[in-house]
Structure 1
Amino acid sequence: MSKHANEGNLTGLLEELDREIEGDISLGDILEHFNSRGFGPLLVLPALLVLLPTGAIPGVPTTCALFIVLIAGQLLLGRRMPWLPRRLARFSFEHRRLTHGVERARPWTRRLDRLLKPRLSFMTRGVAYRGIAALTILLATAMVPLELVPFAAALPAATLLLLGLGLIGEDGLVILLALLVLLLDIATGFWLVG
């Protein structure tokens, strides 16, 4: 099997990250390993870090949000090779936390993998692609203050995960699902405030 055979497969991405990066895992490692695969994996992986047990580590949601904002911002500016500030690139967590999270998530990621397939692909290209990049900046920015509320950062992270999956699988239906989840997030936010 080729190194990138599972690039449209969430389970494969996670298992590759767990298998091929040794020692503590930094955001710089993730960028270096996956930046040739497009924006999808670089959106999915930090969103998953927030949703998995690693998201309970103080600072992880905010750091992942900064990662996403920087990558999406560079995408909007037309930069082909993303760059991270050294301090952000060095942010890391223990490998065992990722391994534990991958094991727990595997049954769910396999179900998601079966649902992904190319359809409504116009939602993943051109103007829509840049629109997704702009939306991810807004969602990632929202994760920063939400880190102060237990598990609240998971709401925008779930939407970011779906957007990334839609890009990886060129699945516009999943992008539309992400937009529906976003509307539910906004409605939940208004309900909590009210």
Structure 2
Amino acid sequence: MAKLSHELQRYFFEETRPQNVNLADILLLAGERIFGFLLVVLSLPSALPIPAPGYSVPFGILIFILAIQMIIGAKVPWLPPKMMNHPIKLETVQGFLKAGIPWLRRIEAIARPRLSYICTTLAGRVTLGIAIALMAISMMIPIPGTNTLPAMGVFVTGFGLLEDDGAISLGGLVLCVMGLILTTSILMALAWGGSSLLDIIKTWLGR
């Protein structure tokens, strides 16, 4: 099975495409890897350290829908047809991929099937699904700082699913926990006038 980075490079840069593409077209690349593939593709724009205005909320919604399906044990994902067929400018996708493909290749270099039960058993997928759902909610919050780290957690976790690499998915779960702490801290800071979760932890530890 060809590496995802090679498939994306071929599909978007080496073959002729119309000015607009959609998720339904992109899914032709997924094959049996569809859950992990979708999570990687949908989280990529927000996971990159470049502005991605307008993508975190709709893609966060789609990621949340996928996470719920993972939790209930769905084998084949379902997404709203309207979102699947929504046109996205080819040059926009190419811009994200130019920044994202090098990172994909770095992860692919160390990825291999291991601890596969984390990615394939019901208990493992439920755990991953819950973490991804929480990160998707964070991505939907229109506040700076609540998008990038959670999206990175989804990206790495999804890549582990894509490659049946439980070790990488566990690394993604660590990022998800960090993302949850950061988002909670930001929300508490906004709600309590400057107090943050980290401040509270420091105070508690100092007692």
Which TM-score applies when normalising by structure 1?
0.80
Deviates more, 1:45-54 or 1:124-133: 45-54
Q: Residue 54 of structure 1 contacts residue 97 of structure 1 at CA under 8 Å; is this kept in 2?
A: no
The answer for the alignment partner of 2:113 in structure 1 is 118
- The Cα RMSD (Å) is 2.6
Out of 174, 177, 184, the position equivalent to 2:171 is 177
Residues 1-194 of structure 1: pairs in structure 2 closer than 5 A: 5-6=1-2, 9-19=3-13, 22-23=17-18, 24-31=20-27, 33-34=29-30, 36-52=32-48, 56-58=52-54, 60-126=55-121, 127-145=123-141, 148-150=142-144, 152-192=146-186, 193=189, 194=196
Letter matched to residue 153 of structure 1:
N
Distance 1:182 1:82 in 2: 22
State the shift of 1:48 in Å. 0.7
Unaligned stretches of 5+ residues in structure 1: none
1:93-145 Cα shifts (integer Å, max 9, x gaps):
21112222222333322211112122222221211023212321221122111
State the shift of 1:35 in Å. 5.8
Letter matched to residue 103 of structure 1:
K
Q: Residue 28 of structure 1 contacts residue 89 of structure 1 at CA under 8 Å; is this kept in 2?
A: yes
Q: Residue 35 of structure 1 contacts residue 81 of structure 1 at CA under 8 Å; is this kept in 2?
A: no
1:136-171 Cα shifts (integer Å, max 9, x gaps):
1221122111xx233531111000001011111221
Q: Residue 156 of structure 2 contacts residue 168 of structure 2 at CA under 8 Å; is this kept in 1?
A: yes
SS in 2 for 1:150: coil
Distance 2:101 2:81 in 1: 31
Distance 2:86 2:143 in 1: 22
Runs ≥4 residues deviating over 6 A: none
Q: 1:17 to 1:43 in 2, by over 3 A?
A: farther
Unaligned stretches of 5+ residues in structure 2: 190-195, 197-207
Q: Residue 117 of structure 2 contacts residue 166 of structure 2 at CA under 8 Å; is this kept in 1?
A: yes
* Matched residue count: 185
Higher Cα Rg, which structure:
2
Letter matched to residue 109 of structure 2:
R
Q: 1:73 to 1:185 in 2, by over 3 A?
A: closer
**Matched residues, percent identical?**
25
Distance 1:52 1:41 in 2: 17
- Bigger relative contact order (CA 8 A; separation at least 6): 1
